[in-house]
């Protein structure tokens, strides 16, 4: 399929691109080649091909769900910038009315 420079200018305008004349010529040629290739692909007989969303089978691989303690009492506050006994200490952000 052969594109015209006018069509390339229209696509560039939709994409808010400013193209120099040399770029318009180059993109006209390149996009025409791409559309020609797609046209060839559209001619392929895919009647016996099962529709898929991916070319390879996809399978989720999950690890076994195992209970474990992530934060022990001793280490959960190790990186706290400020703490008071077993609590995080944060600045007051709500004013009393």
* CATH number of 17's domain: 1.10.20
Query: Is residue 56 included in any domain, yes or no?
Result: no
Query: Is residue 14 included in any domain, yes or no?
Result: yes
Per the model's pLDDT, the better-predicted residue between 74 and 32 turns out to be: 32
**In which domain, by residue range, is 37 found?**
5-42
pTM of the complete model: 0.50
Q: What is the dihedral of CA 22, 26, 28, 31, to 10 degrees?
A: -150
Q: How many domains does the chain have?
A: 1
Query: Is residue 38 included in any domain, yes or no?
Result: yes
Q: What is the per-residue pLDDT across 7-37, written as a single tens digit (0 to 9) for each?
A: 999 999 999 999 999 999 999 999 999 999 9
Query: Is residue 30 included in any domain, yes or no?
Result: yes
Question: How far, in Å, CA of 16 to CA of 21, rounded?
Answer: 16
């Amino acid at each position: 399929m052969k594109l015209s420079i006018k069509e390339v200018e229209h696509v560039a305008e939709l994409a808010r691109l400013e193209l120099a004349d040399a770029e318009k010529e180059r993109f006209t040629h390149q996009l025409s080649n791409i559309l020609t290739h797609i046209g060839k692909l559209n001619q392929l007989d895919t009647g016996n091909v099962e529709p898929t969303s991916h070319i390879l089978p996809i399978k989720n691989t999950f690890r076994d769900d195992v209970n474990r303690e992530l934060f022990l009492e001793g280490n959960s506050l190790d990186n706290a910038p400020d703490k008071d006994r077993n609590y995080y200490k944060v600045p007051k952000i709500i004013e009393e009315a």
